[in-house]
Amino acid sequence: MITCETLVLPPFQPAGQGLLCDGVSVPAVIEEVGAPAYIYSARAIADAYRAIDRAFADYPHAIHYALKANSTLAIARLLRGLGSKADANSAGEIDVALRAGFLPGDIVFTGVGKTRGELEYAIAAGVGVINAESPGELDRIAAIARAQAREAAVAVRVNPDIDARSHPNISTGLRTNKFGVALQDARAIYRSRRDTAGLRFVGVHMHIGSQITTAEPLRRAAATLVTLAAELRDDGVPLRHIDVGGGLGIAYDGGQVLTADEYAAAILPELRRLSLPVVLEPGRAMLGHAGALISRVVDIKRYPDGRRFAVLDAGMTELMRPALYGSFHRILPVQPRAGSFTPWDVVGPICESSDVFARDRDLPPLEVDDLVAILDTGAYGAVMASNYNRRLLAPEVLVEQGAWRVIRRRQTMDDVLALES
């Protein structure tokens, strides 16, 4: 079921004078901040947040935005302002969440391989719940909490062995993945540590993967989690919530995939069997469509066999997803030239053969100095950037109510070298 409420109006729209982001001229922004740069629409982020919030409106729920998708302070603050809570995956993300104004109790801390230092920091900060990955981690949490004369609220991350039918590199709920404890062990783990001093079991957790575009794996995961929670309730574990993780995908081809309403319709009947409040940890679905990476063509090459390359000033250092997962992103010239569409390989400048954004992509004529927009890069874009090849992190710009501002300036070589002696 597609409703207009769940469709997010695309923030980037072609116009005569060049691409617009919610009415703001992209070429004008780049004129000032330079390329490459990320541009985000605050309106699209709010629309995406509200679509999920509305879809779950008649069920007790909390949205904990997964900061790993994009943790730039202004983005985190924007989501807090909308009413979101936070899902942090490291001490660094907890720190950013606190600086962005999230209350410690509104942060869930997930993550495989939390260090002792990270656990000490999270427990001292008083995060709302720690999603534990193993019995060993539960024991470390208990010891740290006791040493701090505290009690840590915990949930166990369960691996249900469900195929999310996403890319193998972003599937996390299979037996072969490193995440969580095996479903068949979960009940015994809760039972064996139910009375451990320093621990308070408040929930059950699961996250089966990212970019999930069909409802069935998410429904099955929710059903499995509810069944486990019911068993734990019978065992006398006083759970307060069921955390179904994130994973809601977006349509990178500009079409329509699983909507927030369809997602809710799939999992709510399962959740209603127990009526425990649900925690949702969406990341990509909130930010993905809201951002574009704007990049300049720095070279054009033609091979004798006719293959054409447009070499950009952005590469896998700015946007790693295509090199990491072979992921598809739509690419639009910011000010399209007249002429027929021909196939182009759109590549980055990095000395790696995987530094390719698109192969044989039909595009209008491109020339050196043209700008292109790589769409749907608001999530898992800027956060995955690196300084490889001594390249400097690109700036990020937020468009809000017809105006724009830099929310992270371009990195300088002095910033980078400040760490070196």
Ligand X SMILES: Cc1ncc(COP(=O)(O)O)c(C=O)c1O
Catalytic residues: 351
- Residue pair 217/176 in contact by the 8 Å Cβ criterion: no
What would the x/- binding string for ligand X be over residues 230 to 269, using CB under 6 A?
A: ---------------xxxx---------------------
Residue 205 token pair = 């957790």
If you write DSSP's letter for every residue of 308-367 in order, what string do you get? EEEEES--TTT--HHHHH-----EEESSPPSS--EEEEEE-SSSSTT-EEEEEEEE----
Least Å from the CB of residue 106 to ligand X: 15
CB of 113 to ligand X, least distance (A): 12
Tell me the closest approach of the beta carbon of residue 185 to ligand X, in angstroms.
Answer: 19
From CA 135, how far away is CA 156, in angstroms rounded?
9
Pairing of strands 241-243, 199-205: parallel
Is 160 an interacting residue with respect to ligand X (CB under 6 A)? no
Q: Does 281 bind ligand X (CB under 6 A)?
A: yes
* Closest separation in Å from C-beta 296 to ligand X: 29
Assess 207 for contact with ligand X (CB under 6 A): yes
- Beta strand 308-312 pairing with 291-302: antiparallel
Residue among 36, 283, 322, 395 that touches ligand X (CB under 6 A):
283
Determine if the peptide bond prior to 36 is cis (ω within 30°): yes
Structure tokens at 177: 């993945």
User: Nearest Cα to 412, choosing from 391, 382, 386, 384?
Assistant: 391
Segment 406-409 long-range contacts (CB within 8 Å, at least 24 positions apart): 406/33, 407/40, 407/72, 407/73, 407/74, 407/75, 408/72, 408/74, 408/382
Q: Least distance to ligand X from the beta carbon of 248, Å?
A: 6
396 binds ligand X (CB under 6 A): no
Stretch that binds ligand X, among 4-12, 63-71, 93-101, 295-303 (CB under 6 A): 63-71
Q: Which of 43, 61, 68, 114 lies at the binding interface for ligand X (CB under 6 A)?
A: 68
Shortest distance, position 403 Cβ to ligand X, whole Å: 28
Q: Which parts of 82-101 interact with ligand X (CB under 6 A)? A: 87
Q: Is 327 in the site for ligand X (CB under 6 A)?
A: no
* Number of residues in the chain: 421
Q: Which is nearer to ligand X, 207 or 296 (CB)?
A: 207
Q: What is the crossing angle of helices 260-271 and 42-55, to 10°?
A: 30
Among 128, 173, 282, 333, which residue sits at the site for ligand X (rule: CB under 6 A)? 282
- DSSP reduced 3-state for 54: helix
289/69 Cα distance (integer angstroms): 12
Among 284, 321, 391, 408, binds ligand X (CB under 6 A): 284
Which of the stretches 275-283, 294-302, 337-345, 390-398 binds ligand X when contact is defined by CB under 6 A? 275-283
Interface contacts to ligand X, rule CB under 6 A: 66, 68-69, 87, 110, 207, 210, 245-248, 281-285
